[in-house]
Structure 1
Amino acid sequence: MLTSLSIKNFALIEQLEIRFSNEFSIITGETGAGKSILLGALGLVLGRRADLTSLKDKEQKCIIEAHFEIQPYGLQSFFDENDLDYETTTIIRREILPSGKSRAFVNDSPVNLQELQELGDFLLDIHSQHQTQELTDEAYQLQILDALAGHQNVLQEYKNRLSRYKNVKSQLKQLQSEKEALLKEQDYNTFLLEELLVANLKEGEQEELEALFEKLNNVEFIREALDKSLMIANEEQIGLVQNLKEVKATLLKIAPLSKEYQDLSDRLSSVLIEFDDIADELQRHADALTSDPEQLELTNQKLQNIYTLQKKHQVNTVAELLEIQKALDEKVVQADDMDAKIEMLTNEEIVIKEALNGFAKTLSANREKAAPVLIDQITAILTELGMPNARFEFDIKQTETFLPSGKDEVQLLFAANKGTSFGLLKKVASGGEMSRIMLAVKAILANYTKLPTIIFDEIDTGVSGEIAHKMGDIMKKMSRQMQVFAITHLPQIAAKGNQHYKVFKSVQGETTVSELKLLTNDERIVEIAEMLSGKDISDSALNHAKSLLID
């Protein structure tokens, strides 16, 4: 329910703050007084796009703020899904900056226009004679039937299963496509995998093989270097070992004379021990060194195989080849895994499809039962609204396709007069007939579902006084279930409201502004009398206005 509206710097409105009550509210005013401005402001709250022409003062920002009581609408899940703070009194604020940028907030949290539009659909329905095309939409006609059928739980179960069904079919299609592509590559992948498996690769072996190859390939060069080193070290007369021993013996003679000489002697002893160890290691390497052409050839072949595989797979290391081997292994066995997944999803698809058919059958049966009930209620209301010969027929066809709300395609057929054949509503109903049909539908829906606040914008255009009485009665009855606003030029409807607001223009200094005022009872009598007779209000008009308000 819309509880209050604040408008600042919008079109002809400088500053406006107004509170609304529940039930049935009337808004009247002369043409051009600003009723469309009021609707424009509410349109911005509902997420309509804005531009700089909305600003009265181009140097100041425009702010529109609407307060709604939302507890009856069950919107907690919407707020949770959109990460918004849920408040039973929810505040929607829209700002248009002088730069042309627009911002929107719900309970002080910024939102985009799509989120605002989705929330607005739950809160406010602005309905004019030009917006009755909604009634010609087959999806909306189906919603009307579903409201009377009262099978929302079944419908929700169907939608949940349909969502899963589409997901399963999508997964199946993807898996089957992947399997088909995989099977085309499987032979080649198997060949590549076997090639890598035969190579029996081990991480780090390339470096070891390259080191071994260099050693085996340079045996004579290494032997010559080792032999020469051993000769220099161990030659009996001039070898390094013998010379180091002589230096050590000489230093030992002077070591007792100074700590410095002693340190030098100790260091030389350490060098001699280390050099002895090096000489022994050289000897061991020399003794172990043998020429092995066969091992050299095997090492070379292994290395060349690794280099060939690296070039083939465009990598530089054995580790990368092992990763490719792992991936190929997974691809080769993946086809078997896919078969298991495809079988599982296929079975699930069959189960879901069976459940969907069951739900769709129930929905269709309920709609067949609800259709004549709805037709009877619509024709009864339309008889009151001056259309006694109006006839309706629902054409419900079951398809083989799972549609968003079942397997039914629905068309509402209409005949306005006796003796005329049925036709599609959108083709055979006039604008005035569509307005009255929509009013009848909204009135019926108010008894079956929780509708948002509804604003009827001059839906009564072109109807007679007696029909206007009936329309007013219908809207007033609707207001027992929901908040209803009627923007009207007809006194018969204006008199039905629980409260009456007037839109008017006033001149303030050099500017014209639009204002909205809640009328007192006396002011209301005058306003309705003026609607009856014009600016020159007669006593009979005043009396007529009073009698209308009493009815």
Structure 2
Amino acid sequence: MLTGLIIKNFALIDHLEVNFSNGMTSITGETGAGKSILLGGLGLVLGNRADLSTLKNTEEKCFVEATFSIQDYELKELFEELDLDYESITLIRREILPSGKSRAFVNDTPVNLSSLQRLGQELIDVHSQHQTLSLTQSDYQLEVLDALASNQSLLETYRTKLSIFKTIDDKLKKLLALQSEQKQDLDYSTFLLEELIEANLEPGMLIPLEEEEQELIHAEEIGMNLVKSTQIISAEQIGVEEQLNEIRSALQKVSSVSEKYNSLFERIESMKIELQDLNQDIQVQAEQIEANPSRLEQIKQMLQKIYDLQGKHHCQTVEELIAIRESLDQKVQSTATLGEDLIQLKEQRDVLLHELEELASQLTEKRKTTIPSLREELESLLSILGMPNARFKIDLQPSDRLLSHGKDNLLFEFAANKGSNFGPLKKVASGGELSRIMLSIKAILSRFKTLPTIIFDEIDTGVSGEVSYKIGGVMHEMSQYMQVITISHLPQVAAKGAHHFKVYKETKDQSTYTQLKKLQTEDRILEIAQMLGGEEISETAILHAKELLN
């Protein structure tokens, strides 16, 4: 609910400050007095665009602040989505600087224009003869029907499940595409993996194999030189070991003379022991070495396989090949796991699809049950509003797709007169007819859901006195459930307001200003009487004004 409005330096408004109450508020004034300017200023805090031409004094900033009481509007989620601090009494401020820049704040938090527009849609609904486009749209018509059918809870459940369904369905489609892609190279990946597995690769295996290959290739040469070596060591009289013994014997004779000769003896003793060990190892190696063509061929094949794999996979080491093997193994395994994931996702999707079909069916049934009462109420209200022959044809057409509101398309057709053919609202209804239809729909909706403040901007233009009285009655009935502000030239409508403001112009210091004044009882009688009879207020007009106000 709009509770306060402050406008400074906007068009013909120098400074205006007004408080609003719940119920129905009437705003009247002569043509050109500035009622549209008042709406324009309010439009700034609702996210309308503005420029420097709206500034009364181009050297000062324009300032508009609106206060709203929003505790009944269930807007906490929207505030969270817009990253705004939620306050039950919310202040929206808009500033237009002399430079042309615009700034907006919600509860002192800066916001961009799109966020302001989203929030504004939930706070005020400005309705004029030129703003009935939403009425002709199927989504809005369904929203009306669902409000009367008390489908809100069911719709929330449906939309929550539909969101989950779409997420799972998208994931399923991506996995199916991935599976198709993987299947194309799965055979090749499996072949490469098997090839690497057959190679029995182990870390550090390449160097020992290459060394063994060299031993087998040079086995005869190695054996011959090992035998020659041990012969040189062990030969009698001229062998290294025999000569070492002679040196040892000579040094032993002088070892007792001093420590330095004893040290020489010990060293030759160590050399003799080491030579004996070396000779023994050479003999062992000589006995073990032998030509083995079959083993050599086996090693050659093993090495060639490793070299071929390194070339195929563009790497230099066995360790890199092992890493590639593990990667291929994971890839092949993931394809198998992907199949299991697909089965699970399909099961989840099928369960959700069944639940959504059930919910959509429930929505359809409740809508079908509600359509007759909606049609009856609309036709009844329009008859009161001067359209006694207005008729509606409201039908549900099944959809083969899951839509955001179920599986129904709504056919909402209208005929204004007897004998007229039914047709879509946007094609067969005039602007005045659309305004009265929208008024009727809003009147019905106000009983079933919390609506934002509605401002009727001269939608009663061009109607007769009796019909205008009925329009005022419908607005007054709506004001029992919501805040209604009506801008009107008709006394029958204005008189229905619980509160009454007059917009007027005054001239001061060669400048014209728009002002807004709240009318008390006596002033209100005079305003209604003037609207009835013109500038010359007669006793009859005053009596009629009192009658209307009573």
Task: Compute the TM-score of the two structures, normalised by the length of structure 2.
Answer: 0.80
Would you say the 8 A contact 1:447–1:481 is kept in 2?
yes
The alpha-carbon distance between structure 1 residues 316 and 145, as it changes in their structure 2 partners (threshold 3 A), is: farther
* Correspondence for 1:177: 177
Quote the offset at 1:395 in angstroms: 1.7
- Verify: 1:100 aligned to 2:100, yes or no: yes
Indicate how the Cα distance of structure 1 residues 292 and 407 shifts in structure 2: closer, same or farther if over 3 A, else same: farther
Does the aligned pair in 1 maintain the 2:210–2:303 contact within 8 Å? no
Q: For residue 63 of structure 2, what is the amino acid of its counterpart?
A: I
Partner amino acid, structure 2, of 1:120: G
| 1:460 alignment partner in structure 2 | 460
The answer as to 2:420 corresponding to 1:420 is yes
- Cα pair 2:414 2:428 within 8 Å, conserved: yes
**Following TM superposition, by how much is the alpha carbon of 1:204 offset from its aligned partner in structure 2, in angstroms?**
7.5
Q: Which amino acid aligns with 1:53?
A: S
* CA 1:433–1:308: 2 relative to 1, 3 Å: same
Question: 1:118–1:200: structure 2 CA closer, same or farther, 3 Å change rule?
Answer: farther
Corresponding residue for 1:470?
470
For residue 138 of structure 1, what is the aligned residue in structure 2?
Answer: 138
Cα 1:211/1:408, change in 2 over 3 Å: same
Please give the residue correspondences for 1:284-323 in structure 2 after superposition, counting only pairs within 5 Å. 312-313=312-313, 322-323=322-323
Q: Does 1:376 align with 2:388?
A: no
How far residue 48 of structure 1 moved from its aligned partner, in angstroms, is 2.5
Query: Match of 2:72, SS?
Result: helix
- Provide closer, same or farther for how the CA distance between residues 211 and 428 of structure 1 changes in structure 2, counting only shifts above 3 A: same
Alignment of 1:280-429 (within 5 A): 312-313=312-313, 322-429=322-429
* Aligned CA-pair RMSD: 4.0
1:440-479 C-alpha deviation (Å, 9 max, x unpaired): 1111111111111100111101101111111001101110
Query: Does residue 166 in structure 1 map to residue 166 in structure 2?
Result: yes
> What is the SS of the residue equivalent to 2:146?
helix
Counterpart position of 2:238: none
Contact 1:62 1:97 in 2 (8 A): yes
Per-residue CA deviations over 1:290-349 (Å, capped at 9, x if unaligned) read 999999999999888777656655667766655544332222112211111111111122
Counterpart contact for 1:212–1:299, Cα < 8 Å: no
| In 2: Cα distance, 1:529 partner to 1:315 partner | 99
Distance in 1, Cα, partners of 2:506 & 2:89: 33
Aligned counterparts of 1:317 and 1:31: Cα–Cα separation in 2: 92
Larger-gyration structure (1/2): 2
| Equivalent residue, structure 2, for 1:34 | 34
Change (3 A) 1:4 1:308: farther
> Within 2, Cα distance between the matches of 1:374 and 1:461?
26
Contact 2:147 2:449 in 1 (8 A): yes
Alignment-derived partner of residue 524 in structure 2: 524
SS at match of 1:441: helix
Partner of 1:80: 80
Per-residue CA shift, 1:194-240, capped at 9, x if unaligned?
3444555566778x789989x999xx9xxxxxxxxxxxxxxx9xxxx
When residues 210 and 90 of structure 1 are mapped into structure 2, their CA distance, relative to the original with a 3 A threshold, is: farther
Deviation readout 1:13-37 (Å, 9 max, x if unpaired):
2322211111000112223322222
Contact 1:141-1:411 within 8 A present in 2 as well:
no
Cα 1:203–1:544 shift into 2, 3 Å: farther
Greater Cα shift, 391-400 or 170-179: 391-400
Of stretches 341-350 and 439-448 in structure 1, the one that deviates more from structure 2 is 341-350
Asked whether the equivalents of residues 454 and 483 of structure 1 are also in contact (C-alpha less than 8 Å), the reply is yes
Distance 1:350 1:86 in 2: 39
Deviations 1:385-404 (Å, cap 9, x if unpaired)? 11111111202111222111
How far apart in 2 are the matches of 1:537 and 1:64? Answer: 36
Which moves more between the two structures, 304-313 or 417-426? 304-313
Distance 1:393 1:300, change over 3 A: same
Match of 1:464, as an amino acid? Answer: S
Please give the alpha-carbon distance, in whole angstroms, between the structure 2 residues aligned to 1:327 and 1:102.
57
Which segment is superposed worse, 192-201 or 47-56?
A: 192-201
- The 8 Å contact of residues 27 and 485 in structure 2, kept in 1 or not, is answered as yes
Amino acid across the alignment from 1:489: H
Label 1:335 to 1:541 Cα distance change in 2 as closer, same or farther (>3 A).
Answer: same
Instruction: Indicate conservation of the 8 Å contact 1:529/1:537, yes or no.
Output: yes
How many percent of aligned residue pairs carry the same amino acid?
A: 52
Aligned 8 A contact 1:12 1:513 in 2: yes
Please give the per-residue CA displacement for 1:44-80, whole angstroms capped at 9, x wherever unaligned: 2222333333333333333322111111112222223
Within 2, Cα distance between the matches of 1:109 and 1:456? 30
Mapped partners of 2:451, 2:205: distance in 1: 75
Is the Cα–Cα contact under 8 Å of residues 394 and 410 in structure 1 kept in the other structure? yes
Q: Is the 8 A contact 1:34 1:503 kept in 2?
A: yes
Cα distance in 1, alignment partners of residues 55 and 426 from structure 2? 38
Q: Which runs of 5+ in 2 are unaligned?
A: 222-243, 245-259, 261-266
- Counterparts of 1:462 and 1:549 in 2: how far apart (Å)? 22
Q: Which residue type is aligned with residue 390 of structure 2?
A: A
**Alpha carbons of structure 1 residues 521 and 176: separation in structure 2 relative to 1, 3 Å:** same
| 1:209 and 1:299 in contact (8 A); partners too | no
